[in-house]
Structure 1
Amino acid sequence: METCIQKQQVIFIMGATGTGKSRLSIDIATKYSGEIINSDKMQVYKGLDIVTNKITEPEKRGVPHHLLGEIDPEADFTAQDFRYHALSAIRRVLRSDKVPVIVGGSNSFIEALVDDPLSSFRSKYECCFLWLDVSLPVLYSYVAQRVDQMVDAGLVDEVRGIFDRKADYTRGIRKSIGVPELEEYFQAEMEGNDESAENLLEVAISDIKSNTCKLINTQLSKIYRLKKEVGWPIHRVDATTVFEKRGKEAEDAWEEDVLQPCFKIVGDFLKNSMKVQHLY
């Protein structure tokens, strides 16, 4: 007797912070009837929406999101925790006849999900890996501007709300870039040393920018390793032109340089990769 086993399909959107992964995930989920599973290790936590740069409700455009702002901010959410919760979310999405779209910059989470031998992920799921990339000089400039925008939007007040001299800054949401950098500033502020506090705030903002660039380098190193050493079939899509332009030209570049190639890759994947294994 012949039995047919069909692997189910999962889309992954990878890339460094600030490259437009969330926007791309919404476009793909909208076009291909998907739901989004967050794989950013700081965005899983409740709170600090500005610091962690969570996507807003209007930006979601009605697309359901999973593992976004759901975890206790004091918890130490590990890669193993992510694997457990992500597998559960993937099954829920598939039961709804939707396509799981996993998006985030925490490649250690994604690797723990895909390559852990205990979960046998690859034997059950076909994976499409998209890597949204931006030239480093352009991306560094963009994230520096974004930090300034986050400060204008209330980043400092948001972090002040969770400031605690006795808190552990090595676990939970307090590990987020933008939190430990401000600790000395808040301490000076509490001590009433206004001149020192003002200088420390400038240093903190500069450190946030610098540490964000360091994070970008770490994220890219992990993607290079997964692609070149581990051998993941990752499709690189260059979004640099989007960040070099403004207004309608930027929108046109997004359509031509990002969406069209990504839709082609995902469309072919969904159409052609539903492999049927015949067991005799």
Structure 2
Amino acid sequence: MTFSVSMCKQTMSFLNIEYGLFKSNFFRPRQQKDKVVILLGATGTGKSRLSIDLATQFPAEIINSDKIQVHVGLNILSNKIPKEERCGIPHHLLGVIHPNVDFTTLDFVDMASDAMASILSRGQVPIIAGGLNSYIEALADDGDFLFRSKYECCFLCLDVAMPVLDQYVSD
């Protein structure tokens, strides 16, 4: 498996693997639990780009969990990935809430749960990517552990060296 910077066909892919060579069974057809991929990491680490790369390699759709990117507009402020760079991959909870609306953690859990059910009904894997860990915690670490009893989760945490991250965010 190799990693590099990605932007659909414009640049190289994060993932350079063939489906048959992928050693994990995670993206293969369902066994008992539905699969969910959760991408975590600081702003600018490449969560959105990696989510698109994964979704172009495997049958998946993306659910945004960034508190700012969920709002309509604010594209530059939030570094929302432009439509032309989404490679045709469906994105859920991206630019759907008016900026003046108070979008709570409970709202996120409800809407993300509905999006996951919809994605899974189409035989796709939900990839949850974004910057707000409180949304992910509320979804995946519910008090009754219903989420983890229902879904097999693959958590990927992206980490970038601070000088690289500082330069990227500055640019």
Tell me the TM-score normalized by structure 2.
0.79
Larger Cα Rg: Structure 1 or Structure 2?
1
Aligned to 1:26: 52
Give structure 2 stretches of 5+ with no counterpart: 1-30
Q: What's the CA shift string for 1:31-74, capped at 9, x where partnerless?
A: 11100000001100111111111111111010000000001211
**Match for residue 231 of structure 1?**
none
Residue equivalent to 1:45: 71
Q: How well do the aligned residues superpose, as a CA RMSD in angstroms?
A: 1.3
Deviations 1:159-211 (A, max 9, x none): xxxxxxxxxxxxxxxxxxxxxxxxxxxxxxxxxxxxxxxxxxxxxxxxxxxxx
Matched, 1:92 2:122: no
Q: Which residue of 2 aligns with 1:36?
A: 62
1:8 pairs with 2:34:
yes
Who is 1:136 aligned against?
162
Q: Which runs of 4+ in 1 moved over 6 A?
A: none
Determine the structure 2 residue equivalent to 1:266: none
Count of residues paired in the alignment: 141
User: Is 1:120 aligned to 2:157, yes or no?
Assistant: no
Q: Deviations over 1:109-139 (max 9, x none)?
A: 0010001125710110010011111011221
d(CA) in 1 for partners of 2:108 and 2:89? 21
The amino acid that maps onto 2:50 is L
- In proportion to residue count, which structure has more helix? 1
Q: What secondary structure sits across from 2:111 in the alignment? A: helix
Q: Take 1:66 and 1:143, find their aligned partners in 2: how far apart are those partners?
A: 24
Contact map agreement 2:68 2:74 (CA 8 A) in 1: no
Q: CA deviation at 1:76?
A: 1.0
Indicate yes or no: 2:90 matched with 1:64: yes
Q: Structure 1's 45 and 118: CA in aligned 2 closer, same or farther, altered over 3 A?
A: farther
Q: Kindly indicate whether residue 110 of structure 2 is the aligned counterpart of residue 103 of structure 1.
A: no
- Residues 258-277 of structure 1: pairs in structure 2 closer than 5 A: none
Q: Distance in 2 between matches of 1:23 and 1:79?
A: 24
Moved more, 73-82 or 86-95: 73-82
Q: Which amino acid aligns with 2:76?
A: I
For 1:171-210, what aligned pairs fall within 5 Å after superposition? none
User: Separation in 2 of the partners of 1:142 and 1:66?
Assistant: 26
- Structure 2 distance, partners of 1:27, 1:138, is 21
Q: Which residue of 1 aligns with 2:7?
A: none
2:34–2:150 Cα contact (<8 Å) kept:
yes
Q: Which runs of 5+ in 1 are unaligned?
A: 146-280
User: 2-side partners of 1:22 and 1:59: how far apart?
Assistant: 10
Q: How far, CA to CA, are the matches of 1:53 and 1:144 in structure 2?
A: 12
Shift of 1:144: 1.5
**TM-score normalised to structure 1 length:** 0.49
- Say if 2:119 and 2:125, in contact at 8 Å, map to a contact too: yes
109, 117, 125: which one aligns with 1:83: 109
